[in-house]
Structure formats: structure tokens, C-alpha cells
Amino acid sequence: MIHCRPYNSEDFNLLDGYFSRREVNRYINKGIFFPLSLLNLYKCFFRLLIDGGQLIGTGVIRWKYSRDTKCFGWWLYAIWIKPDFRGKGLGMVLMEKLFNELREKHIKRVYLTVHNNNSIAINLYNKLGFITIKENSTYRVMQYEL
């Protein structure tokens, strides 16, 4: 059974080869990011998509200021499905689980940034109802109303 759960310290070995220690610290509000989280300038929730004890994907919900939107808001980061599990609809499963958590937190809007050459992700986000609010030659900023 597939479920989405918070990261805990014993999970780091599951991420070996996919995420660095610094990335994980950023996603769990540790290290240099801890003081910012105390000031409510930075807050992250790192989630793992697990099937039978095996990591199959990740997602991060992050509160931050963005120069693209010129305001604080909730952003999705590290939306990732393990290569062996891609093409099976698990990106949609992960996003729905993240959306459910956002709704439980009474969050009404979420953003993400995606590289323009990542057509698979762009198609997924469009199917889910994201709209592009800013685009340049490298990436686009997309928004979703919950």
C-alpha cells in the first residue's frame, strides 16, 4: 500500500544517492535553516512516498519568499519519483497526497517552478490544474488553487 509520510532521521539511508545531507537539512529545517524557521521566514515539510517500506518518491512543502511572485507563499519542491517507478501514475498519487496535506493545513494556494525542458512534469501539472503565471526561456512558475 502506498502512503505519504513525514521524513524522520532513520530515513536518510533511503535517500542515499538521491539527496545530499545539505538538501535534506534544508528540507527538514536543520542546520543554517533552523534560525530562519524560528523566525517564520522559512518552513519545510519533507514527505516520502513509500510502498512496502521502499522509497518511491519525495515531495517538499515549503514556506518562503519568492522574487517571482514578490510575496511569501507555499511552494512545492523536490517532487521526485524514483526512476524504476516512473510512468506508472505515481506522480499523480504523490501530488494528490501533498494536496490533501495542504488542504488539512488550510492552505489555499501553492506554487512550483519547473524547467521548460521537463515536459513530463509540465503535462502532469497541467492535468492537475496548475496554471503558468510566469515564464522565461529556462523555467516557468506555476500556481494551483486548492
Q: What does the pLDDT look like over 43-59, one tens digit per residue?
A: 889 999 999 989 999 99
**Domain map (residue ranges) of the chain:** 2-145
Beta bridge partners of 144: 110
Residue 141 in this model has a pLDDT that exceeds 90: yes
Q: What does the pLDDT look like over 71-119, one tens digit per residue?
A: 999 999 999 999 999 999 999 999 999 999 999 999 999 999 999 999 9
Confidence of residue 62 (pLDDT cuts 50, 70, 90): very high
Fold designation for 2-145: Aminopeptidase (3.40.630)
Residue 47: name the closest of 11, 73, 86 by CA: 11
Question: How long, in residues, is the chain?
Answer: 146
- The residue whose grid cell reads 512558475 is 141
pLDDT for res 29:
82
**Which cell numbers in the block locate residue 131?**
496554471
pLDDT for res 90:
95
pTM: 0.89
